[in-house]
Structure 1
């Protein structure tokens, strides 16, 4: 069967797995404010079931939190399980299983007759998102040449933003369908990307490192030839990669007794703490809350109906556009700069929204704004437009900073022998906090109203301080450099992006380029000795 060898073509197909998360976010955010959804899953005084009563208030705040949180709850489980599935079946096959699970969950969600069935379907969808979000970055990073690895892993976040945008407009269009079709159609259509991804993966090669780990060396060599050698099995870069993979496997075999406990030993615990908090802080920015519940936020600002949905969609366009800057410049910017600056900017917009809401806002009438109870605070006029503007600026600050860096940064922190286990833990921490926030934010909007913005502003301030003093720079450094940096305890604020001219052999040609992150999949003593010999 024909196999795609271009790394950008491989990435374009594979990151659809990350896009599934985006489809889920916007299919919920665009639907939870529609009258059709509110009436069908109504728990208000008029009882459940679909009707045309404009007073339908939909699920209670804590129940809506449970509906939304069921997906990240499933993703937490899926992320933890994905490492085992990927090691046994292969990176590509694990992602394909994620596609199958996604379709099963989407069928249940689409056919939901009650809230319980909806929660079960979303939990199953979450299992698929957990598997794909953890394994797609691993898959593309193990296929990409070092100089392109940061860019292709960052494409995961861009795919998420595209998924959010596309599914939002589909859901918006379907909101004009009368009756239950308004939400059943988009929930059914979200199966199509998973079907396309499953088929597309048939035309992609397996990870050469996974093949080598299972002693399938001939296939490993064929994949390297396809992706890096342009059909030439004796291309210099192919030989180099194959040699380093062999060194990696030999090193792993000598350290086959590595267990989960190694991550919690003194020399590794600091790195685990940094990787876990990178993912935790990315959730505590409040970005996914803005994505899930943006219609509530804009409802407080006086927007309703089509105007609310259109205004909400603008932030998704901003999200897609601003993420491009990270894909182009992330290796120049490094990691620390975007994390610290992004956190400070997001804190600014959160505090601004809190100040505007507190100064110019007032409690909503009984039943909330537009009969949505979660909109328990209201603001109007120019201050309301300022709230909307600050929300857009918040998204524009997150998209090129914490969004992509939170996926790129953790795998760079760990040595090979524990990287798979470590990334599974960091990704799972992302999803468990996503679960918690998705569940508690709707009641928070009801109970503490505008003070929700203060909480997230404090989180953003804390993450800026934490990033500055604790998170070291990894961009421009080899894995050996990073290992040495941690072993010698170099203060995070004294690390910097390193660019140095080196003659690299990639794609069968010698190229003089600036050295970006060298993610060589090897840390064997033999390689270190070889490098030292070459330098001398």
Structure 2
């Protein structure tokens, strides 16, 4: 075999470095845009009487921030073609190379135009990685671990945010351009590591099967799921299910993006797209990328603002652990419903507190920052309330919409469409990320606290949508999910988690390691040394 790593958790740890790159970008921009070194270098709004630079205009800062998600939208769309051609592993490697190119341009920027171009190229990388890393680990993982390992994508994002925020905070003490060139240059290190380590990983068995590389697919399934035992019942069952699905899909024409909008497939396409759209419309973009503006309006300045902002990134990392531990037992629907309800409450609370206790800031905004257009300095308790609600919002998002928005889409689609379908779903995330990155700075400047009410309404709408339209996919093999969608009479609110079902399905492989035999429910024993295939009917 050409690969060295077969433990699914180690495979996931390497693959989700791609998610960490997105986190690096969020945190570096969040920490850097408030520093005087950045504002003075890209200054467009003049200097106040205290000698403070205003930085780019709010519209241009929105454009700088939006360049990355704009590129990500393009990257996500093309990733479907890249992954079908190069494989899941090859797509991840191409994304890591593109990231290094974009980061080199960004850290050497001498103007806003160059900064925008570099961030757009970075975005293409993030679009490819964010679309294909979840597909890759979903196609390798056992059903009972699928939510856990795909959710690790979100955990990696939170770690990327946390690490890069503190790196950027430390670099803020450097003089001049080094304060922002250094963190943006250091972003290349993990991408280079990802590129190198990916050579040690196996390719997706489902992609190999699609290319008629059946022996390699069998080897990967056996290595990852049964410690090399090719005749383990779960391996044989999964191989047969993949074989049946590939044969069925081969009888259909080649997959295209248009197939996602035809007939019953349109329903699943809308689910995948809205999972990603709603994850952006929760308002998490406000709480992460522009948190220094929010806390600036609450009266925090300088290092106090950056340190307070970093606390939410710690909360994000810690609370995401809950999802990794329990998401396959909780399922997908329940976290989405609970998360959106709580986030709605905290968004409305923040808007209410600001409206009741704040006042418009002087012209030009607090601390010469136009986006800090609302002043809570005369109401310290209200300011603490805004900070507390912000932390609680993040704690609600982290174990719910954060990971589930990456877990759910790869589970929805048949093999022949999965690469392109997840690419389309992820592109929906990025086009809305782009719009919000551009919208939020001018929104803070013009509609002020009402920005929170807009996102509160979105959270209410997504709660209703999820309840009536999103079926449960946890506790099912990818092939069983396909059967659920193709069986008439599906009622999403009546679907349940079937965790114990897949645990029983996988138990055969575990027992064969211990006993040296394969035991199925009908009492048939097959020696582990044989290569005989076990039919689907032999295992529950």
TM over 0.5: yes
CA deviations on 1:174-229 (whole Å, 9 max, x unpaired) are 00001000000000001111011111112112222222222333333332333223
**8 Å Cα contact 1:267/1:487 also seen in 2:** no
Q: Cα 1:4–1:215, aligned 2, differ >3 Å: closer, same or farther?
A: same
Aligned to 1:203: 200
Report the TM-score, using the length of structure 2 for normalisation: 0.91
Aligned positions of 1:58-207 closer than 5 A: 58-207=55-204
**8 Å Cα contact 1:18/1:159 also seen in 2:** yes
Q: Name the CA distance, whole Å, in 2 between partners of 1:223 and 1:236.
A: 15
Asked if 1:348 is matched to 2:349, the reply is no
Aligned to 1:426: 425
Q: Cα 1:268–1:317, aligned 2, differ >3 Å: closer, same or farther?
A: same
Q: Cα 1:492–1:244, aligned 2, differ >3 Å: closer, same or farther?
A: closer
Q: Cα 1:257–1:302, aligned 2, differ >3 Å: closer, same or farther?
A: same
Aligned positions of 1:21-36 closer than 5 A: 21-36=22-37
Aligned to 2:303: 306
Aligned-pair Cα RMSD in Å: 2.2
Q: Cα 1:72–1:455, aligned 2, differ >3 Å: closer, same or farther?
A: same
Q: Name the CA distance, whole Å, in 2 between partners of 1:508 and 1:486.
A: 29
**Out of 377, 384, 404, which is 2:374 matched to?**
377
**8 Å Cα contact 1:25/1:291 also seen in 2:** yes
Could you say what secondary structure the match of 1:44 adopts? coil
- Runs of 4+ in structure 1 deviating by more than 4 angstroms, as ranges, are 499-502, 529-535
Asked if 1:510 is matched to 2:511, the reply is yes
**8 Å Cα contact 2:236/2:535 also seen in 1:** no
Report the TM-score, using the length of structure 1 for normalisation: 0.91
**8 Å Cα contact 1:503/1:510 also seen in 2:** no
Asked if 1:328 is matched to 2:325, the reply is yes
Alpha-carbon distance, 1:472 to partner: 1.9
Asked if 1:276 is matched to 2:276, the reply is no
Q: Name the CA distance, whole Å, in 1 between partners of 2:69 and 2:327.
A: 27
Q: Name the CA distance, whole Å, in 2 between partners of 1:505 and 1:306.
A: 51
Aligned positions of 1:432-511 closer than 5 A: 432-478=431-477, 479-480=479-480, 483-484=483-484, 487-501=487-501, 503-505=504-506, 508-510=509-511
Q: Name the CA distance, whole Å, in 2 between partners of 1:166 and 1:80.
A: 29
Q: Name the CA distance, whole Å, in 2 between partners of 1:106 and 1:257.
A: 36
Aligned to 1:244: 241
Q: Name the CA distance, whole Å, in 1 between partners of 2:473 and 2:282.
A: 22
Could you say what secondary structure the match of 1:266 adopts? coil
Q: Which region of structure 1 is more displaced relative to structure 2, 61-70 or 495-504?
A: 495-504
Q: Name the CA distance, whole Å, in 2 between partners of 1:139 and 1:195.
A: 19
Q: Name the CA distance, whole Å, in 1 between partners of 2:472 and 2:229.
A: 36
Q: Name the CA distance, whole Å, in 2 between partners of 1:183 and 1:121.
A: 14
Could you say what secondary structure the match of 2:511 adopts? strand
**8 Å Cα contact 1:347/1:457 also seen in 2:** yes
**Out of 289, 292, 300, which is 1:292 matched to?**
289
Q: Cα 1:335–1:505, aligned 2, differ >3 Å: closer, same or farther?
A: closer
Q: Name the CA distance, whole Å, in 2 between partners of 1:100 and 1:471.
A: 36
Aligned positions of 1:349-368 closer than 5 A: 349-368=346-365
Aligned positions of 1:398-409 closer than 5 A: 398-409=397-408
Runs (5+) with no aligned partner, structure 1: 513-528
Q: Name the CA distance, whole Å, in 2 between partners of 1:489 and 1:240.
A: 27
Alpha-carbon distance, 1:491 to partner: 2.9
**8 Å Cα contact 2:206/2:415 also seen in 1:** no
Aligned to 1:526: none
Could you say what secondary structure the match of 2:505 adopts? strand
